[in-house]
Amino acid sequence: MTDIIHLLPDNIANQIAAGEVIQRPGSAVKELLENAVDAGADEIKLIINDAGKSLVQVIDNGKGMSETDARMAFERHATSKIKSIDDLFRIKTMGFRGEALASIAAVAQVELKTKREEDSSGTYIEIENSKVVKQEPVAANNGTSIAMKNLFFNVPARRNFLKSNTAELRHIVDEFIRVAMAFPDIFFSLQSNGQEVFHLEKGSLKQRIVQILGNNYNAKLVSVQEQTDYLNIMGFVGKPETAKKTRGDQYIFVNNRFIKSAYLNHAIMNAFSEMIPKDSFPAYALFIDLDPAQLDINVHPTKQEIKFEDDKIVYAFVQATVKHALAQFSITPTLDFELDPNIQRLDAVSKPMSSEQKSSTSSSSLYQTFTQKNQAHFVERNSDLKHWKDFYETPSTPNIPLSTSTLPSLHKEYESEQPMMQLHLTYIVVQREAGFILVHQQNAHERILYERYTHAVAGKPIATQQSLFPATIELSASDAVILQELLPDMKELGYQLEPFGQNTFVVQGTPADVNMGSEKGAIEKIIEQYKHFSNDLKFSKREKLLRSMALQNSIKAGIALTQKEMQGLINDLFACETSNTTPNGKPTFMNFQKEEMDKMFGR
């Protein structure tokens, strides 16, 4: 009998190994950026084309490599960071296993250009399918440029499993953010198809967080800092009002390495308990620094899952530190002023009151009336105070009800309008001969809008009202990618949006039921809800958008409705193809039979 077990050829073995490390373009982005950080660069540029499928290039100004090192770097398990088994438990670098470049070279065409400061010329290497096809000296800047072209060109089955360009770009942006946030002292840029998506100047951690997550976080971050003999924790958490319906803005770093940890996330959520709704998630960027010997990061190919030597201690420290920071914020809120120097020089800020001013103020009758005991009700009715009521009385205005334009047009009228009333500004009671119906106004309106939007994308577009003064909306880079993907469908739904430079869009028009001035908030809420639905893989992109818009634009509890509006809502609900539930399966109304009520009261 012949032997049947044999060694795999190197190129096949490398492709199998690459499947663990390089799952998509974003995986390569992570590995290449981390290598650039390890090379001591303070300037790192990422260039991608076709969502990384045709090109991922990282250019750094780090220490570069010698000719021999450049060639060795593509061998499997070739590394400069591990010499003994003990080194594996004292890792302080981002990369260490020597798998990244070998894996990339196994599934892509790679071009490397590198030069050390002490060398007169650099080295150029081309590799394809794990084989060096070209190597020669080259003129180059100090540092390294590595380009990965045509990912999975030699594994077409793997290439077929890649998602749309928009989806892959979102993964790339996520990986870029995770590295860039950890190193605010390094300049990072990201260019996609010739357009700059990120330009992150060196600065403080807070500046980097605001650069990435958006200016709306600038005054809404609480500083977290605790130093102990066992570990140090620093970073920022968002104030409770920044909590969202999705987990998007949550980052935990251990020794500057981004990790995924449901365990530590639970600790942070516990610190926020009773401060935010149960279905909301706080924003945070926390950095845990501890002895590398106290953890094992070599438990997963992507190194995003780690093991602590003592999970419970880390959990307790994280929860207590965040809780302490939030408690300090609650008791003595700190106002984070970044004032213009001109403001600092104003008399009101820089000069104390003179003795003359104090004397003049304290001698006034108004001051004395309010500072002397039991005198407040004797405030003089002098000419300076004759309009005092204006401060809390508003001019009488007619009671303007919720505009009927926020409700869909009526499909039909009942033959005779039934008596109805609103309870708790949430429910509508509709009397019937055989009893009554209790309608939940938001659930009902959500169903109406969902069917209206479904018809719109099926060929009956919703009319757009042109903005007299077009609003500009600036989003975070990841949200801008989502909105770019949704533009065609949103146009069918009445939103006319146009890209306007880096992560910015101009709102040229909106559906008629969006009030002027609220366009920005409406779009931001739709994106946030869309991300919430994105966790459910059974929905298509369009279905997620329809459900998001229906949920966000529906009439919320707490809004008073007129008889006409209630009647219109009921008419529209029962004209729906499916009138008894929301798109998510919540009931829109309950039917109460008179006979059952009579039985309840023994009649």
Q: Provide the pLDDT confidence category of residue 330 given band limits of 50, 70 and 90.
A: low
Domain co-membership, 116 together with 237:
no
Q: Is the pLDDT of residue 350 over 60?
A: no
Residue 137 lies in a domain: yes
Residue 596 lies in a domain: no
Q: CB count, 10 Å around CB of 420?
A: 18
Q: Is the pLDDT of residue 388 over 60?
A: no
Please give the Cα distance from 364 to 360 (Å, whole number).
Answer: 7
pLDDT: which is higher, 127 or 373? 127
- Between strands 43-49 and 187-192, the pairing is parallel
Residue 477's pLDDT is what?
82
Q: CB count, 10 Å around CB of 119?
A: 16
Residue 79's pLDDT is what?
59
282-320 pLDDT, tens digit per residue, is 999 999 988 877 766 655 455 566 667 777 888 888 999
- What b/e readout covers 31-49, taking b as 16+ CB neighbours within 10 angstroms? bbbbbbbbbebeebbbbbe
What CATH number did the domain enclosing 511 receive?
3.30.1370.100
496-527 pLDDT, tens digit per residue, is 999 887 788 999 988 877 777 778 888 888 88
Query: Whole-model pTM?
Result: 0.68
Domain co-membership, 476 together with 502:
yes
What CATH number did the domain enclosing 89 receive?
3.30.565.10
Q: Is the pLDDT of residue 98 over 50?
A: yes
408-451 pLDDT, tens digit per residue, is 333 333 334 667 899 999 999 988 878 889 999 999 999 999 99
Domain co-membership, 102 together with 244:
no
**Nearest of 33, 52, 49 to residue 194 by alpha carbon:** 49
**Enclosing domain of residue 462:** 420-590
Region of poorest pLDDT, from 452-456, 474-478, 556-560: 474-478
Q: Provide the pLDDT confidence category of residue 338 given band limits of 50, 70 and 90.
A: very low
Mean of the per-residue pLDDT values of the chain: 79
> Domain boundary residue among 150, 167, 202?
202
Residue 433 lies in a domain: yes
Residue 400 lies in a domain: no
Q: Provide the pLDDT confidence category of residue 147 given band limits of 50, 70 and 90.
A: very high
Q: Is the pLDDT of residue 383 over 50?
A: no
**Nearest of 532, 9, 79, 100 to residue 301 by alpha carbon:** 100
Region of poorest pLDDT, from 10-14, 179-183, 340-344: 340-344
Please give the Cα distance from 259 to 78 (Å, whole number).
Answer: 24
250-269 pLDDT, tens digit per residue, is 999 988 889 888 888 899 99
Residue 150's pLDDT is what?
92
Q: Is the pLDDT of residue 167 over 50?
A: yes
Residue 376 lies in a domain: yes
Domain co-membership, 324 together with 382:
no
Region of poorest pLDDT, from 48-52, 399-403, 506-510: 399-403
Residue 354's pLDDT is what?
58
Residue 259 lies in a domain: yes
Q: Provide the pLDDT confidence category of residue 557 given band limits of 50, 70 and 90.
A: confident
